[in-house]
Structure 1
């Protein structure tokens, strides 16, 4: 058995991790995941071109059983542990002593602690339905690491009509354990745009922060009136980052930004990234109600709900109604945290935050 470490499905969630730029950074992510999960299952790490992710169907939590000849004998778009056990009984045979969930003693660890205070700078509220676009960091092997990493997103209007919003967020990478040095100039950037492009600003500077150091992202929203097809923006950013109390760096780094969807960048939701509102969660899932009865059966649910359907079906009628769906959002918001008890699923109660 192996875990496969691929690109992050939800950057900024559960530890504020961001997409790595190098293979060394991705390997560091896998080592950190191993610590947090406390499992002894070995990890395989995808290449930076995400070739394995693409070959396996681009799913975030897929599951495969491969026989000794290298043939895929079972596959699922979403992991379902109970079904895996049934598969193995069919393929290999039953075992006498079944390992139960409560028998597994994992040495769980919390995510990396932030290098400085968070919440000193209010988060920018991103427009709805933003899509990550392709960025190319210009990596100098002899230069400073990308302590802060760019995430670029656009709204659907910019793709469809050529006019819309461009989000530029510079997020500190927790694995580099750095923080902003607020005793000097704030982060700033400039854009070199192609001929004919119409954009609201070519330069910008982050707001000053009252505390000497913090770890909040520096975020900007730029109006774009026209982005020529096939042309890219060159972005140059200057910032000041410190590791610990004594080592500080003046950093200048460059990116090429393309108006092309990045299907490997994952989905971040800004403030409270990845978190669901109960009403909104129930409403969105009920959009999959094919027969219009206001409830969902097993064939109408998706994702993490699938393997835990019976646990959330509190009245045992084989359906999930709106009142049964609402508490699911709370578990989904916190299931990723180390130490989340299985009982929170079984009892359908919110996990303590």
Structure 2
């Protein structure tokens, strides 16, 4: 006789939907753009007692005219940090920012929002171009940037609103996009970058399986150059050990192990 418990139908979990990519138009960077200094700021009211996780890496690039004479174009790129498993929540308000400069600085758009996206979620970068004109010549004081966005992590089961603040110094970043840690003074500390669950200075090694799950949009088990995002695009040829135009799980694992051994 069939027990009553076996007659109760258990609902199946909905299949995981692939997170979209390659659907947000990229902004063309100004000619000769160079990475400039970016320093994240701790949230107001945070007295160094709370850790802060940056799910997005900010890369700021300026043309030569802006760096040398205070007049030119600034490119802001917000890239989801691949060390996390988050994606943009497009069912909420899109990413928005506010940029402020010192006296005498004119900004073409001091406030802006990312475009609305039809897909419920994606991992494409959000980019903006801002024209800056200084009446005092070369800009010596930093710009202040505040950004707000909604991020989700399906594996951990959360969606939350996030707000971060940065200072941008219009001088060349010789480390090409490394991020200053709060309280680090004028120097760089590569060990203290946003990433990992613990925030600054506490990074976890990326998981190849999670990265494949996020970036392998066609489900063929590898990551193609078209599917790569953020810094992975620049490192793709180095990571592609067998030069077959795609990144396998083993190639991802080997790349992460090499980077970890150099720290």
Contact preservation (8 Å) 2:91, 2:120: yes
Match of 1:176 in 2: 84
**Is 1:258 aligned to residue 161 of structure 2?**
no
Matched, 1:150 2:150: no
Q: Is 2:239 the counterpart of 1:337?
A: yes
CA shift, 1:266, in A, is 5.2
Q: Is the 8 A contact 1:334 1:340 kept in 2?
A: no
What does 1:93-108 align with in structure 2 at a 5 Å threshold?
none
1:158 counterpart SS class: helix
Q: Does 1:166 align with 2:63?
A: no
Matches within 5 A, 1:84-233: 116-139=19-42, 142-226=50-134, 229-233=139-143
Higher strand share: 2
**Using the alignment, how far apart are the partners of 2:70 and 2:138 within structure 1?**
8
**Distance in structure 2 (CA, Å) of the matches to 1:203 and 1:186:** 13
Q: Going by fraction, where is helix more abundant, 1 or 2?
A: 1
In 2, Cα distance between equivalents of 1:220 and 1:200: 11
> Does the CA contact (< 8 Å) of 1:178 and 1:241 recur in 2?
yes
Larger Rg: 1
Cα deviation per residue 1:258-290 (whole Å; 9 max; x = unaligned)?
1111101259xxxxxxxxxxxxxxxxxxxxxxx
Q: Deviations over 1:10-38 (max 9, x none)?
A: xxxxxxxxxxxxxxxxxxxxxxxxxxxxx
In the alignment, the residues of structure 1 paired with residue 80 and residue 109 of structure 2 have an alpha-carbon distance, to the nearest angstrom, of 23
CA root-mean-square deviation? 2.4
TM-score by length of structure 2 reads 0.58
Q: Equivalent residue for 1:274?
A: none
Q: Take 1:170 and 1:183, find their aligned partners in 2: how far apart are those partners?
A: 19
Contact 2:96 2:112 in 1 (8 A): yes
Offset from partner CA, 1:172-217 (integer Å, 9 cap, x none): 0010111000000000011121111111111000000110000000
Whole-angstrom CA distance in 1 between matches of 2:235 and 2:36: 25
Cα–Cα, structure 1 residues 334 and 174, in superposed 2: closer, same or farther, change >3 Å? closer
Work out the CA distance in 1 between the residues paired with 2:177 and 2:57.
Answer: 14
Partner of 2:4: none
Deviates more, 1:218-227 or 1:249-258: 218-227
Aligned residues: 166
* Residues 306-344 of structure 1: CA deviation (Å, up to 9, x unaligned): xxxxxxxxxxxxxxxxxxxxxxxxxx9864234416xxx
Cα distance in 1 for partners of 2:78, 2:65 equals 23
Gaps of 5+ in 2: 1-17, 179-233, 247-263
